[in-house]
A = this chain, B = another copy of it.
Amino acid sequence: MFDPVEKLKEFIRHQSVSTDSKCKAGMEGAQEFVSSLLGSLGFTVEVVKTDLHPIIFAQRGGDAAWPHVVIYGHYDVQPADPLNLWKTPAFEPTIIGHRIYGRGAADNKGPLMTNITAVARLLEENPALPLRITFLVEGEEEMGSPSFEKFLVSHKDRLKTADFVYLSDTGIPNEQQVVITSGLRGLALFDVHVTGPKGDLHSGLHGGVLRNPIQALAEILATLHTPEGRVNVPGFYDGVLDVHPWEREELRKLGADEAAYKKFLGIDTFYTTPGFSPFESQRFQPTLEINGIGGGYQGEGTKTVIPSKAFAKISCRLVPNQEPARIKRIVMETIRARTPSGVKVEFVDQHKGDPYIVVPPGRSNTPANQSPVLAHAFRATDAAVTAVWGRPPLYLREGGSVPIIADIKRVTGLDSVMFGLFLPEDNLHAPNEGFSLEIMKKGIETTKRILAAVAAG
């Protein structure tokens, strides 16, 4: 039996940044690492080619009467920059106390390794376990899974034999409280490019004559929120699902501390959707964020130019039942309508993803036609978490996005049990990403119990 921490270190060392064409070797290394590990556990591993990064499709078959779980994960990671803000090397895993640091430690290499280890131990203890398992590990999650839907369609028949999807790519509030994620926000991303004069100009010779594209971009972006914090795009909130009372109740049980959260963020004032607490706003309300902006001279000292171009990278987080394509369209239309004279605006489309919601059994709004195996898996999860962590999980929607969860539902009809493992301090998508090895240990035991219970039926 392998040591999961040593395996995780090996996994992190592969620089698998899917959006960076310079990381080809790291992507291949990470894929081969996962494929060979699953192969060593007796899985039949298929490496499914895509236009970009292959998908690992690894199966443990069995009697068609056995339950069938699909375990999802991804081997790609976010870019590591700005590198100068890392306290330990981004791709050299470093253990400090009970935490391991490195890009991808939490998103998603640590949690994926947790679930692979649980399966390995379960099969070691009971090689005849009556459970069909399919690992589905992709390499394009951090770029919006552009190849995943095509894969789902082509593998639809083989996936439809499954009962539910199980994954750990969501968060929990602290080391004591497990959360099963009952919803995810969707995404709509694009870049805005503003062009003014045909070339950069001397701001002395030509200043006072034309509109500066940075100024125009700032004027456009400044209109996209109300002073109170709502997204100021007509139609943006159309169709947003009301929050169900049991959801607010779960959040109350969470007992999150606003003062501590402010301190964690390093801010003195929240800026939320009006009428929602910060914890409600980040789970139940959509956003429009500017993820990056650039234009003109950004170097040392000064350069007195009026630049030709400026751009911003925009992402919207969406909630049920916002439709990403419609949101992109109305935000782009709004930007176009608010573009001042003297500059041109253009868009570069990026990826998108649907929002998702799943209601666990026993809630007043649980769908009547919920799959019995899914309901059983939820109950097994409840029991396993209570046994290992000493208290039952909470069922909460969260602010992050795993767009493929909605894709899986749409294409195959499968719902997902999302067993959260990473902490707020794990710094996902940011410098000094880390993952708790204590949580990994408990996570392995929990997943083992859940899968054993599902197998037992």
Contact = CB atoms under 8 A, between A and B. Distances in A.
A18 to B, nearest CB: 9
A212 interface: yes
A255 interface: no
A262 to B, nearest CB: 9
A350 B297 CA distance: 14
A291 B266 contact: no
Contacts of A85: 199-200
A292 B213 CA distance: 10
Given A310-B293, A312-B214, A430-B201, A304 B189 contact: yes
Interface stretch (A40-48, A155-163, A270-278): A270-278
Contact of A210 (B222, B225, B265): B265
A410 to B, nearest CB: 20
A211 interface: yes
A295 B292 contact: yes
Given A227-B340, A271-B341, A401-B204, A291 B313 contact: no
Nearest to A191: B302
A315 B300 CA distance: 15
Contact of A197 (B217, B227, B265, B317): B265
A398 B219 CA distance: 29
Contact of A294 (B21, B81, B298, B429): B298
Main secondary structure of the interface of A (DSSP, over half): loop
Nearest to A143: B301
Interface stretch (A63-71, A280-288, A356-364): A280-288
Contact of A290 (B21, B201, B212, B342): B212
Interface in A406-451: 424, 427-432
Given A199-B266, A399-B207, A304 B291 contact: yes
Given A206-B399, A266-B199, A291 B296 contact: yes
A400 B290 contact: no
Interface in A158-193: 171, 185, 187, 189
Given A198-B266, A215-B225, A291 B287 contact: no
Contacts of A221: 214-215, 218-219, 222
A19 interface: yes
B302 A143 contact: yes
Interface string A383-407: 0000000000000001111000000
Contacts of A266: 197-199, 308
B205 A400 contact: yes
A95 to B, nearest CB: 21
A211 B296 contact: no
A267 interface: yes
B400 A214 contact: no
Contacts of A224: 215
A351 interface: yes
A272 B211 CA distance: 8
Given A214-B312, A227-B340, A399-B205, A302 B306 contact: no
A126 interface: no
Nearest to A170: B205
Contact of A208 (B206, B269, B287, B432): B287
Nearest to A311: B298
A186 to B, nearest CB: 10
Given A199-B427, A215-B221, A208 B19 contact: no
A424 B292 contact: no
A104 interface: no
B209 A272 contact: yes
A334 to B, nearest CB: 15
A268 interface: yes
Nearest to A317: B207
Given A197-B267, A227-B340, A305 B430 contact: yes
Which of the listed residues A19, A218, A272 has the most CB atoms from chain B within 10 Å of its own CB? A218
Given A209-B272, A292-B296, A399-B204, A189 B428 contact: no
Closest CB pairs A-B (n = 3): A198-B266, A204-B400, A292-B296
